[in-house]
Amino acid sequence: MSNWDLRELESLIEKSHGTPQLEKAAAHIRSVARKLESAGYHYQMALGAFENVFPVQNDELISVANTILGVGESSRKYRFATLAHESNVIALAHVMHSMTDVFSHVIYDSLNLSGLHEDKLNLSIVSKNLPAGELKDRVVRVLGLQQYNYLNSLVNTSKHIQLVETVYSVDMTGESKIPHGLKFKAFKYKTESHAEKYAQDFLVDMKTLSSEYVLLGSKINVQLRPSWKI
């Protein structure tokens, strides 16, 4: 995995804390690795959902509108593509959100921390129990990212209260940087309001956040390295 050596991490855990601790950590390490792969899959599927559905040139907006509003074969392909796109965007959101809880367990197990309720771990709780250093700084950074903040609000709103509505938007004015695409409507989570966002922009945010997750993981290795020469 780019920039995060999981085999090194497992070796460091075993040398630092013994085989039983590695066995405890291994399931969470495999889980976060699998979730990163799953996120990549849903990202690619969402990105390619509308291939061969609309005209090659995005400025053919009248043709796009006709496809959306029509009743023929092209419209059927559009409706299926919309379902595939939205389904994969939502799946990506839930995978990316769940990954932070798994990361909290990876950190907790890798550093052999104690004194916390493991069934209630999350990154925020773990960060408060980390010593000052690169790992703690990276966790705090992830929790403070606007991409993570929007993701957290989106998933918790969809999971606990109501689905955040989506709409396929076509900009006929020429003012939008995205001529047409699926859009999350504006919504509010607790006291925070979020503006409408194109799913295409959300995909970019999740790609950025995925890179941040990998960098966070690499800092677990850094935290464990000083005592060992690998």
pLDDT digits (tens, 9 = 90+) for 64-110: 555 655 556 666 787 888 889 889 999 999 999 999 999 999 999 99
Asked if residue 1 is part of any domain, the answer here is no
Asked if residue 198 is part of any domain, the answer here is yes
User: How far lies 219's CA from each of 5, 18, 33, 103, in Å?
Assistant: 10, 20, 15, 12
The pTM assigned to this predicted structure is 0.85
To the nearest 10°, report the CA torsion of 133, 134, 139, 143. Answer: 100
In the 8-state DSSP scheme, what is residue 118? G
For residue 108, give its domain range.
6-227
Asked if residue 121 is part of any domain, the answer here is yes
Asked if residue 61 is part of any domain, the answer here is yes
Asked if residue 143 is part of any domain, the answer here is yes
Cβ neighbourhood burial of 51 (10 Å; 0-12, 13-18, 19+)? exposed
User: How far lies 13's CA from each of 27, 93, 115, in Å?
Assistant: 13, 30, 19
Q: Are 198 and 178 in contact (CB under 8 A)?
A: yes
Q: How many domains does the chain have?
A: 1
What are the tens digits of pLDDT across the range 100-159? 999 999 999 999 999 999 999 999 999 999 999 999 999 999 999 999 999 999 998 876
Indicate if the pLDDT at residue 179 is higher than 90: no
Asked if residue 53 is part of any domain, the answer here is yes
Indicate if the pLDDT at residue 49 is higher than 90: no
Asked if residue 103 is part of any domain, the answer here is yes
Read off φ and ψ for residue 163, nearest 5 degrees: -70, 135
Indicate if the pLDDT at residue 163 is higher than 70: no
Rg (CA), the chain: 21
Query: Letter for the amino acid at 151?
Result: L
Asked if residue 26 is part of any domain, the answer here is yes
